[in-house]
Amino acid sequence: MIHILVPYDFSPLAAHALTFATQLSSHYSHLKITVIHVVEIPLGMGVGTFGGGLDPMPDVQHQLFIKELLEQREKDLHELKNSYASFPFQLETRLCTGNIFRELSMAIEEISPDLIIMGSSGASGWEEALIGSNTEKIVRTAPCPVLTIKGEVYPKNMKKIVFASNFSEEDSNLASRIKHMQRLFDAQLYFVKITTPSNFESSKATRKRLQRFIQKYKFEGITSEIYNATSEDEGIMEYAEEVKADLIAMSTHGYTGIIHLLSGSIAEDVVNHSKRPIWTLKTSKPVLKASNL
């Protein structure tokens, strides 16, 4: 069974993410989707007062507001689950209270999903500089692939996939997932290495490394490109725009990694600023699950 986690805040972007997840049922005979909604509790409020642990708060109006919000969200999630009752997949819902990133991280650790699909509008300015978006944090830390949805998009339209990497190291797990994604969407793959003034190397060396990667993992029907840009994140987005890509795929590895494809900050910048869907996989530790999503 393929298990997909969809963080859900009842926004249009979250609805697009859920729709994308449900439409994957045509590709998988056994699909389970967990929809999780987190009600973020104001600072100074715990969870016991409302039947689960909120510490008393002097402002009774705030307590009543949160209580009513939780009751409404519980009803909303119940209606959402019922709306998919007749569909050929299993859908369950969860309601949590607390810090959004912490609750999502705990859920990811508990259920160990094969894929996370999130809607995101990105962050900019002070929000990006100081705290970043919850999507960006999940992309950085999730052990499974994360698909970030930026608008209304469907699996059947994922026909051009850009895989951005420096191809300097090798990872059979990542390669198998990219190949599976190509088969899943029946898509054309575009491999691109971004060259910038600060990481310049000869085209000959880059082409040799690209070909070694393609041959080692037996990729077929690949379009490979060396693309010059002032920065890697801008180059990835510019190249994706040029080829009219439907999806950008890349890896993150945080502080260390098996594969030195692109730094985590670059992947997060692309997630934050690209208008296209982004598929990311953290490769700092081996992924133990057999799923190839």
> Is 293 part of a structural domain of the chain?
no
User: Which two tokens mark 213?
Assistant: 């990667």
* In a domain? residue 83: yes
- pTM: predicted TM-score of the whole model, two decimal places: 0.85
Domain boundary among 148, 169, 204: 148
pLDDT on residue 66: 84
Domain termination residue (choose one: 99, 123, 148): 148
In the chain, the number of structural domains is 2
Cβ–Cβ < 8 Å for 268, 252: yes
Is 50 domain-assigned? yes
* Cα dihedral 123, 105, 54, 41 in deg (nearest 10): 10
Residue 62 shares a structural domain with residue 109: yes
Assess if residue 289 is contained within a domain.
Answer: no
The answer to whether residues 189 and 267 belong to one domain is yes
Question: Are 10 and 138 in the same domain?
Answer: yes
Starting at the earlier edge strand, list the strands of the sheet with 247-252: 90-97, 31-39, 2-7, 115-119, 146-149, 278-282, 247-252, 160-164, 188-195, 222-228
Does 33 map to a domain?
A: yes
Q: Is residue 288 part of a domain?
A: no
**Residue 92 lies in domain:** 2-148
Q: Are residues 43 and 164 in the same domain?
A: no
Assess if residue 287 is contained within a domain: no
What is the pLDDT at residue 126?
37
Query: What does the pLDDT read at residue 254?
Result: 52
Whether residue 74 sits in one domain with residue 22 = yes
Residues 10 and 123 grouped into a single domain: yes
Q: Are 111 and 185 within one domain? A: no
Are both 48 and 101 inside the same structural domain?
yes
Domain boundary among 98, 125, 148: 148
**153 in any annotated domain:** no
List beta partners, residue 2: 31
Question: Can you give the pLDDT at residue 161?
Answer: 97
Which CATH number do you get for residue 74? 3.40.50.620
Contact between 159 and 189 under an 8 Å Cβ cutoff? The reply is no
CA gap 265, 252 in Å, rounded: 8
Q: Is 170 found in the same domain as 265?
A: yes
| Alpha-carbon distances, residue 190 vs 154, 164, 239, 279 (angstroms) | 20, 8, 10, 14
Q: Looking at the structure, do residues 124 and 212 belong to the same domain, yes or no?
A: no
Taking only the tens of pLDDT, the chain with its 293 residues reads 899 999 999 999 999 999 999 999 988 889 999 999 999 876 555 544 444 444 444 566 677 888 899 999 999 999 999 999 999 999 999 999 989 999 999 999 999 999 999 988 654 443 333 334 788 889 888 999 999 999 999 999 999 999 999 887 667 888 999 999 999 999 999 999 999 998 888 899 999 999 999 999 999 989 999 999 999 999 999 999 999 999 999 988 654 333 334 444 788 889 888 999 999 988 754 443 445 56
Same domain? For 94 and 129 the reply is: yes
Do 123 and 194 lie in a common domain? no
Per-residue burial over 237-264, b = 16 or more CB atoms within 10 Å of its CB, e = otherwise: bebbeebebbbbbbbbbeeebbbebbbb
